[in-house]
Amino acid sequence: MGVLKEFRDFAVKGNVIDLAVGVIIGGAFGKIVDSLVNDIVMPLISTLFGGHIDFSNLFIVLGQVPEGVPRTFDALKKAGVPLFAYGNFITISINFILLAFVIFQMVKVVNKVRVMDAPPPPPTPEDIVLLREIRDSLKK
């Protein structure tokens, strides 16, 4: 019974619940950033590079391609051909950079709101003020 009580106390601590909520929201937020990268940023980047470049289909074939298999990423992957898929790495790297930037901006905003909402510090007690005055006068 002691282990169950200890686990219950651990599971209902505020930090564990906050972490769980953060992970769930982070997963959903990751999907939003994936869509931002795949549907908005990557088409803009491919247009800047002169056309319809799809980074996820940039790869180098490392093995033998069986007869009749088209040279597309999906078909080669399904056929089990080893591929050096550097385009997918580029896409995921851009996704990570955007996600890190957005999270950085969110943390910055939250920190500003916390500072604005923080209660003012309590006034210095009168005895401390008097002691400081005495100290300052003794220094003179």
Q: Residue 135: its pLDDT value, please? A: 94
Question: What CA–CA distance (Å, rounded) separates 17 from 20?
Answer: 5
Question: What CA–CA distance (Å, rounded) separates 120 from 26?
Answer: 33
Question: What CA–CA distance (Å, rounded) separates 60 from 86?
Answer: 8
* 8 A C-beta contact, residue 59 and residue 81: no
Full set of structural domains in the chain with CATH: 2-139 (1.10.1200.120)
* Residues in the chain where the model's pLDDT stays below 50: none
pTM of the model: 0.54
Question: What CA–CA distance (Å, rounded) separates 51 from 43?
Answer: 9
Question: What CA–CA distance (Å, rounded) separates 98 from 101?
Answer: 5
Q: Residue 132: its pLDDT value, please? A: 92
The 10s digit of each residue's pLDDT in 14-54 is 677 778 888 888 888 888 877 877 788 777 877 887 766 66
Whole-number average pLDDT of the chain: 83
